[in-house]
């Protein structure tokens, strides 16, 4: 029997998040998990008292809450770029497949993240920096394992591209009203 939305919400608030994360989100005005979906990921990182580790926990919890199927991220990349890899293999004897035995698992994941973002149309730093939670959750093959790699890349890209506002964002409404400050000043 499938869980109801109310049961999934209870699991999100009480099991996916620790007490501090739950308290911080509730005090900021997040009543249901869906309220995070329309926000760029960088907003959650800069919610006062939340930060990067808490954002990752919330994103992983949202994966479970939304019931996203846990697919192998590497297989998704190979499907998207199969023709590209096949053409390269025909042209040259070198093996360009990112699953090369000489690459570490972390290097494979980072290459996969870059390729997935590029294939989805996120071709420049501005677009990548502004990815919302909903857009992240809609990436095919995303799951609690791979979401950390993608979120980390999005956040690193933001810091390389923009200057972080000094303003302290205290609530969900504050983020919605003043969030444009995040994308005002390029580096």
Query: 89-136, pLDDT tens digit by residue?
Result: 555 555 445 444 555 566 666 677 777 788 788 889 999 999 999 999
pTM: 0.79
Query: 30-49, pLDDT tens digit by residue?
Result: 999 999 999 999 999 999 99
**What pLDDT, on the 0 to 100 scale, is given for residue 36?**
96
- 51's enclosing H/E stretch is helix 51-66
Sign of CA dihedral 123, 38, 36, 5: negative
Q: Is the model more confident about 142 or about 44? A: 44
> What is the rounded average pLDDT of the residues 151-176?
93
CB atoms within 10 A of CB 140: 14
Query: 50-95, pLDDT tens digit by residue?
Result: 999 999 999 999 998 988 776 655 555 555 555 545 555 555 555 4
Listed in sequence order, the residues at least 6 apart from 114 whose beta carbon sits closer than 8 Å to its beta carbon are 153
Alpha-carbon span 88 to 103, nearest angstrom: 18
């Amino acid at each position: 029997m499938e869980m109801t939305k109310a049961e999934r919400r209870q699991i999100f608030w009480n099991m996916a998040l620790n007490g501090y994360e739950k308290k911080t989100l509730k005090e900021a005005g997040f009543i249901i998990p869906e309220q995070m979906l329309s926000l760029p990921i960088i907003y959650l990182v800069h919610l006062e008292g939340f930060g990067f580790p808490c954002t990752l926990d919330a994103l992983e919890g949202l994966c479970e809450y939304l019931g996203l199927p846990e697919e192998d991220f590497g297989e998704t990349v190979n499907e998207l770029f199969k023709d590209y890899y096949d053409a390269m293999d025909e042209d040259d004897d070198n093996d360009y497949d990112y699953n090369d035995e000489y690459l570490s698992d972390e290097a494979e994941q980072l290459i996969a993240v870059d390729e997935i973002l590029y294939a989805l149309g996120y071709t420049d730093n501005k677009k990548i920096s502004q990815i919302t939670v909903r857009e992240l959750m809609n990436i095919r093959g995303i799951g609690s394992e791979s979401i950390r790699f993608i979120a980390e890349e999005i956040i690193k890209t933001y810091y390389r591209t923009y200057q972080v506002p000094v303003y302290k964002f205290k609530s969900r409404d504050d983020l919605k009203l003043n969030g444009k400050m995040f994308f005002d000043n390029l580096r």
